Amino acid sequence: MTLSEPQRPGRFSDGRSAASRKVVVRVLPSGLEIRGEDGFLIAVWKTDDLLADGEWPEKRGIRLRCASEPDARLAVEDAFVIRETLPKPPLRRKSRHTGLVLACLLGAAVLVGLMVGLAPVSKLLAHLVPAGLERQWGQSIATGLEGQMKPCEGRDGLRVLDALAQRLAEPLPADRRGVRVHVLKSKDVNALALPGGEIILFSGLISKAEGPDELAGVLAHELTHIGERHVSAAMIRALGVGLFATMITGDASGLVASGLGAALAGAYTREDESAADMGALDLLEAAGIGSDGLALFFRRLATMEERQGQMLAWLGTHPDSASRAAAVEARRLPAPRLPALSDADWQAVKKVCSKKSP
Amino acid sequence: MSDTTTSQRPLACAGDMGNMFSTSLLNMLLSVLTLSIYRFWGKTNVRRQLWGAVRAWGDPLEYTGTGKELFIGFLIVLFAIYLPLVGGFAWAQVMLVSGNPLGALLLSGLYLLTVMLVSVGLYRARRYQMSRTVWRGIRGGQTGSGWSYALRTLVVWIAVPLSLGWAWPWGEMWLANYRFNNTTFGDRHFKCDATASGLYGRFTLVWFSGLIFVVAAGILAVGAASLVEQGEMDETTAAVAFALVLVPLAVLTMALPSAWYRAGFYRNLAAGTEFEGSRFSVDIRAWGLIGLVAGNMLISLFSLGVLRPMASLRTFRYGCSVIGVEGEPDFAKVLRAEDTGPSTGEGLVAVLDGAGEF
């Protein structure tokens, strides 16, 4: 035995049982020879098959594996010579990095695609929802709201409001024209368009409105939401974002999905609101009603916002009223118009929530 | 001296917090860049470090799972279970809205199925992790069936409210028994006959202090509300004062007793568990447990979950420092098992739960 064949004590597990036995390891030119303490030959591991398997800190040693015996484990004490003979680990880092870079690029591409495609695709899908289903959905929400809040039942006022909404809805597609107006008791200056064709007006809005044209403007705005199926589109958008977020994060609690949905909702809603303002102008013009009322109404909301120093409910997700007023005024319809409602009708609307009305 | 009845601490955890910190940050960065698809590989990476840090009788544990297995498991469950389930829920909602009485039935059936699937998923995830845990070249494993485990979980969840909580120690121990009796290393089973009989003293304290907390919180809330009503406190001060009193009260009546109970639970469980004639023990004290849990919560909370791997490493370190074993099992008798475990990993949990522990 020469100095070039040093012997090292070590420990060996053969991978067939969980025992660990003391061994003597001899370094040969072709590999390692593993013998029991009794000198009995246990295994010969070729140099090319050797795999580094970490350190053995207690004995300043090294852990080894062998490609031809993948379950066996060897720990060798003070293995200076063996470290030298170990083959260098194969260079597969490069391919891993390409995969990672590709994955990152793909991720970015998917995000961009989602941001660009979400709005048009959800709009397209919203128009595929059967009108009957939308209507049913809207009616069930309206019934729910009427159950929670007190509905106003002034019959004359409601009839006038329905008629005004019908008149404004003339240019909409046939299956969108069956509009019904509900009035609910609430201080909020707010109006809602439900899918299908239900419009909810809060009594606070009616009492704040100073003329029929203002109310007509608000109705026209909500009708545009209905005509362009904004609610269904928003629903599909939220579903899509939620599904996507859940798919990629694996978070099924809905936390990520709803957070992302809420973050995106604001931006898209503002877009929808501006679209509805512009659509309202078209409806008003077709019905022969002036747009000054709508502009006035926004102006009044803007001063109320300033005075109260807080957002009103109807503005929560809306652009700020002053800029909306400016946008409406910029497209001011030229010719002077008749008021949207006769005096008597307007009084009926104003009284829609008073108990005395027949 | 070191006869078979003395308990030793054969486990040591040498994990490095600095490494785990950089791994955590890298994982977060790559997860963001790849729309979180990287998380399967990141999780695998963390587990390799955690497992590799643990040495039992001088030899390290190895984690042999791969990111690809986790990813494929996730995809399978996403398309075969999660998306159909979401579709089912949507369908049930539509039925409910349209007034079909079958909708409620379908919905509750789906809820039950989801709850069961989470239990099945947790059990199968444990099976995957066990089968990817290797020590001295020998694989761990888990027998038993996920559905059988889910049924037992259901029994416990029904029994606990029916018994006003008193079934909890029994139920928890019963489930733990099932898990540990089905845990294997090589071709040998762990044996677990732990009972909840010694736990009811501790649980009584938890139950009554919980009751005290609920009553005290109720009285405080009523008192604060009346103070606000009488105008002696404004709403914010009342809320702050309420929280300031409630938090120490919660620690005193909830956290301390439950930590004491939890420590007792782990002691009982370990004392009832044996492998090849060697019994386990844990030297857990309530304060140590509180320190561990509170520290981990703070780490996860303030890093928004990013540094959760560091919390896991703390748990591993703590576990290694408290687990004792009577004598050394005869590992020469523990042979390699032929079952190689599931080929894909953890999909059900990855999709339905999302918040993997490490």
Can you list the pairs that A167-173 forms with residues at least 24 positions away whose Cβ atoms lie under 8 Å? A167/A287, A168/A216, A168/A219, A168/A220, A168/A223, A168/A283, A168/A284, A168/A286, A168/A287, A168/A289, A169/A223, A169/A227, A169/A283, A170/A286, A170/A287, A171/A282, A171/A283, A171/A286, A172/A223, A172/A226, A172/A227, A172/A283, A173/A227
- C-alpha to C-alpha distance for B71 and A224, rounded to whole angstroms: 45
Q: Could you give the CA distance from residue B88 to residue B92 in angstroms, rounded to a whole number?
A: 6
pLDDT tens figures, B4-29: 456 788 999 988 899 999 999 998 88
Q: CA torsion sign, A147 to A152 to A153 to A155?
A: negative
For A245, other C-beta atoms within 10 Å of its C-beta total 23
The reported pLDDT for the residue numbered A95 is: 60
In degrees and rounded to multiples of 5, residue B230 shows phi and psi of: -75, -5
- Written as six digits, the tokens of A116 are 């660009």
Contacts of B74 in chain A (CB under 8 A): 250
One-letter amino acid of B82: Y
Hey, which residues does A76 pair with through a beta bridge? Answer: A10, A62
pLDDT at A92: 54
Mean pLDDT for B50-66 is 92
- ipTM of this complex: 0.76
Residue A154 has φ and ψ, to the nearest 5°, of -60, 110
Q: Do A252 and B38 touch (CB under 8 A)?
A: no
- Residues of chain B contacting residue A244, judged by C-beta atoms under 8 Å apart: none
Across residues B293-304, what is the average pLDDT?
A: 86
Q: Cβ(A58)–Cβ(B60) under 8 Å?
A: no
Q: Of the candidates A187, A191, A138, which has an alpha carbon nearest to the alpha carbon of residue A161?
A: A191
Per-residue pLDDT band for B54 (boundaries 50, 70, 90) equals: very high
Average pLDDT, chain A: 79
- Most confident residue range from A226-230, B85-89, B257-261: B257-261
Q: Residue A145 forms beta bridges with which residues?
A: none
pLDDT band at residue A358 using 50, 70 and 90 as cut-offs: very low
Q: Exposure pattern of A163-190 as b/e (b: 16+ CB <10 Å)?
A: ebbbbbbeebeeebbebbbbbbebeebb
- Res B93: pLDDT: 81
Residue B202 and residue B198: Cα distance in Å, rounded?
8
Contact A211, A293 (CB under 8 A): yes
Provide the 8-state DSSP code for A38.
T
Min Cα distance B68 → chain A (Å) is 13
pLDDT on residue A316 = 47
Distance from C-alpha of B185 to C-alpha of B200, rounded to nearest angstrom: 32
Say what the pLDDT of residue B167 is: 93
Closest residue of B to A247, CA-based?
B78
- Any alpha helices (H) in B37-196, and if so which ranges? 39-53, 67-77, 83-97, 102-131, 146-162, 168-181
Look over chain B and give the mean of its residue pLDDT values, rounded to a whole number: 86
Tens digit of each residue's pLDDT (9 = 90 or more) over B156-182? 999 999 999 999 999 999 999 999 999
B78-99 pLDDT, tens per residue? 788 888 888 888 888 878 777 7
* Residues of chain A neighbouring B334 (CB-CB closer than 8 A): 17-19
Is residue A254's pLDDT more than 90?
Answer: no
| H or E segment and range at residue B15 | none
Q: How confident is the model at residue B100 (pLDDT cuts 50, 70, 90)?
A: confident
For residue B357, the model assigns a pLDDT of: 36
**A-chain residue closest to B74, CA distance:** A250
Percent residues over pLDDT 70 in chain B: 92
Question: For chain A, what percent of residues have pLDDT higher than 90?
Answer: 4
Is the confidence at residue A243, as pLDDT, over 80? no
Q: Which of B57, B60, B335 sits opposite A16 (nearest CB)?
A: B335
Q: Do B59 and A250 touch (CB under 8 A)?
A: no
Hey, which residues does B142 pair with through a beta bridge?
Answer: B183
8 A C-beta contact, residue A24 and residue A10? yes
Q: What is the mean pLDDT of residues A35-53?
A: 87
Are the C-beta atoms of residues B135 and A18 closer than 8 Å to each other? yes
Band of the pLDDT at B244, cuts 50, 70, 90?
confident
Q: Do A17 and B334 touch (CB under 8 A)?
A: yes
Check whether A5 has a pLDDT greater than 90: no
**B295 touches B318 (CB < 8 A):** no
> Could you say which of B185, B186, B331 has the minimum Cβ distance to residue A20?
B331
Mean per-residue pLDDT for A288-301? 84
Average pLDDT over residues A202-215: 86
Residue ranges in A1-92 assigned as alpha helix (H): 80-85
**Cβ-defined contact of A16 to B59 (cutoff 8 Å):** no
Query: For residue B358, is pLDDT > 50?
Result: no
Q: Do the bridges between strand B59-63 and strand B54-56 make them parallel or antiparallel, or are there none, so unpaired?
A: antiparallel
- Tell me the per-residue pLDDT of B320-341, one tens digit each, with 9 for 90 and over: 999 999 988 889 899 988 776 6
Predicted local distance difference test score (pLDDT) of residue A151: 87
Contacts of B186 in chain A (CB under 8 A): 17-18
Residue A22 CA from chain centroid, whole number? 60
Sign of CA dihedral B148, B151, B156, B162: negative
Tens of pLDDT, residues A54-104:
888 777 788 888 888 889 999 988 767 677 766 665 555 556 677 778 877
Which chain A residues are within 8 Å of B352, Cβ to Cβ?
252
- Residues B308 and B357: their CA atoms lie apart, in Å, by 8
Q: A18 and B39 in contact by Cβ < 8 A?
A: no
- The DSSP line for B274-331 is EETTEEEEE---HHHHHHHHHHHHHHHHHTTTTTHHHHHHHHHHHHHHHEEEES---G
Supply φ then ψ for residue A261, to 5 degrees.
-60, -45
Per-residue confidence (pLDDT) for residue A318, from 0 to 100: 59
Domains and CATH numbers, chain A: 8-85 (2.30.29.30), 118-351 (no CATH)
pLDDT at A1 > cutoff 50: no
Distances (CA, A) of A42 to A14, A22, A82: 9, 11, 18
**For residue B210, pLDDT beyond 50:** yes
Cβ–Cβ contact B230 with A under 8 A: no
Model confidence band, residue A304 (pLDDT cutoffs 50, 70, 90): confident
Angle between helix A292-308 and A321-330 (nearest 10): 160
The one-letter amino acid at A355? K
Residues 6+ apart with CB under 8 A from A300: A208, A210
Instruction: Give the Cα separation of A224 and A234 in Å (integer).
Output: 14
Rounded Cα distance between A347 and B143, Å, is 78
Least confident of A91-95, B132-136, B180-184, B254-258: A91-95
Residue A16: DSSP 8-state: S
Our CA-based measurement puts residue A150 at a distance from the nearest CA of chain B, in whole angstroms, of 22
B336 and A CB contact within 8 Å: yes
Q: In this predicted model, what pLDDT tens digit does every residue of A132-149 receive, in sequence order?
A: 888 888 888 888 888 888
* Token pair 């009926």 in the structure block, residue: A348
Please work out, in degrees rounded to the nearest 5, the angle formed at the alpha carbon of residue A199 by the alpha carbons of A193 and A205.
95
Instruction: With CB atoms and an 8 Å threshold, state whether A71 touches B39.
Output: no
pLDDT at A3 over 70: no
Interface touch B137/A19, C-beta < 8 Å: no
- Given a cut of 70, is residue B346 above it in pLDDT? no
Q: Which of B34, B306, B308 to mutate to test the interface with A (most CBs of A within 10 A)?
A: B34
Q: Which two tokens stand for residue B252?
A: 């005193």
A279 has a pLDDT exceeding 70: yes
Element (H, E) at A193: strand A191-194
